[in-house]
Chain A
């Protein structure tokens, strides 16, 4: 399956979803999206959903690492990665991503069980609840209801 990178936000909670075999040759669109995200005054959290990813190339890994480093610098928390494919987890760990992200290896199947999500520190309980709720909404967006998601992989970005 060709790779896709999708992104959406809900009440300041952002999700980056990667599907298939993700290979990025030009990453301007993705970098622009991250830039806009950091400009958003509502920004409270971001997580990366790799549950449907089959492969990730080194450029994409670099982008993710940069995202985590920026989040840590600006908002002082580590974003979460949801991934339960052993091969993908092996790749993330070999690169030392457990030091950049919170790796959630079991959450793909049951997003309902998620009680905690890394987010902007010092936010109140209501914000926490909002983030969890946003997460549910975004995780629950079905294939047909993907309009909220913006495809960050343009045709010309296919390597």
Chain B
């Protein structure tokens, strides 16, 4: 059963208005009576909850043209039923053009028609109210969502701060060697990570990792990797475990730990160990693209190496490469985000383009960053991390 509706009944003729109110009441509406146009208008300004307005067509002090301009401004959208003594077609047409929902002629003997008309008005109002309620609910939900997003953004920013602090100091100068890095995350949190640190008095272990996906879960995986390398570094001293000197051993360990995490995250990685005394590099690649680029006076070349990404299959195997480094060189490692911003379309062309940039650029990381447009990237489609190792003789 619907709640009874409310009807505003307006007529300057007191006896008519009372009769109409009585009639409306009989049809299940609560009548509110006004006998002046001014009173009715003020009443409407107070935004009452009405289902329908029944109004005398030739109401004293009321010109419909003016009312049409003022009533819509109230934005009430309350259906109006007009009542008149005369059934002039022209009046009826005018009333309907003004937006009246129905027109009745006295005597009101077809009560059923009036009842149907009022019922229609009430249903219309109910639909409007329901819409209004839905709109309010949506707005509330929207506000709540915005709040939640705000909280998430704050979390992401906090995570970002932590992640930035996990990165090594840049540049790290070690005799003739310089290690530096730059990370451009596409979101607040990045699945890209790089690290380098001295091991003993002559080695530096470094890594570049690109964890699949984005956001917190990828970022947590970078924390795990950072922690693994730090742990293995201390295991060298405490347990005589020399995995930290072996890129393959480190990749195998990283593979196990990511598999154990069971979050469906995997990472492509490059791990390397520089021996600063011998000027050699021992490295291993786990599915990482682009491959490391070595630039020297002989030109630029990719350091080849294949192997599965870590965190995909339990029995992954990795190759270890040992190379003599030139007296003066720059080694550059990028995460695959860099490939996204290179002009060519397919991967092989991108790789060729990338190596050409190195061929044509003097070997300073700053110049490279400019040449690749990294200093102009506002938000990259994917995270971009870069690690540079250079040596001057």
Contacts and interface: CB of A to CB of B under 8 A. Distances in A.
Interface in B186-245: 210, 212-213
A96 B346 contact: no
Given A58-B212, A59-B213, A69-B313, A95 B345 contact: no
A91 B289 contact: yes
Given A59-B212, A94-B289, A95-B268, A65 B346 contact: no
A99 B308 contact: yes
A96 B347 contact: no
Contacts of A99: 308, 313
Nearest to A95: B287
B264 A66 contact: yes
27 contacts: A54-B346, A58-B210, A58-B212, A58-B213, A58-B266, A61-B212, A62-B212, A62-B213, A62-B266, A65-B312, A85-B346, A86-B347, A86-B348, A87-B348, A87-B350, A88-B346, A90-B347, A94-B288, A94-B306, A95-B308, A95-B309, A96-B287, A96-B312, A96-B316, A99-B308, A100-B312, A100-B313
A100 B315 CA distance: 11
Contacts of A66: 264
A112 interface: no
A93 B309 CA distance: 11
B326 interface: no
Contact of B308 (A85, A87, A91, A96): A96
B349 interface: yes
Given A58-B212, A58-B266, A96-B312, 7 more contacts: A54-B346, A59-B212, A62-B266, A87-B346, A90-B348, A95-B268, A100-B312
A65 B348 contact: no
Interface string B306-344: 111100110010000000000000000000100000000
A103 B351 CA distance: 22
Query: What 4 pairs across the A-B complex have the smallest Cβ distances?
Result: A96-B308, A87-B346, A87-B347, A58-B212
Contact of B309 (A54, A85, A96): A96
B82 to A, nearest CB: 49
A94 B213 contact: no
Interface of A: 54, 58-59, 61-62, 65-66, 69, 85-88, 90-91, 93-96, 99-100
Identify whether the interface residues of B are mostly helix, strand, loop, or mixed: loop
Contacts of B309: 95-96
A60 B336 CA distance: 15
A88 B213 CA distance: 19
A61 B265 CA distance: 11
A62 B346 contact: no
A73 B26 CA distance: 77
Contacts of A87: 346-350
Contacts of B287: 94-96
A67 to B, nearest CB: 12
A86 B345 CA distance: 12
Contacts of A86: 346-348
Contacts of A91: 289, 347
A28 to B, nearest CB: 12
Contacts of B288: 94
B289 to A, nearest CB: 5
Contacts of A94: 287-289, 306
A96 B289 contact: no
Given A62-B312, A85-B346, A93 B306 contact: yes
Contacts of A96: 287, 306-309, 312, 316
Interface string B253-264: 000000000001
B106 to A, nearest CB: 58
Interface in B162-205: none
Nearest to B285: A94
Contacts of A93: 306
A62 B347 contact: no
A90 B212 CA distance: 18
A94 B304 CA distance: 10
A124 B191 CA distance: 46
A54 B345 CA distance: 8
A90 B389 CA distance: 26
Nearest to B210: A58
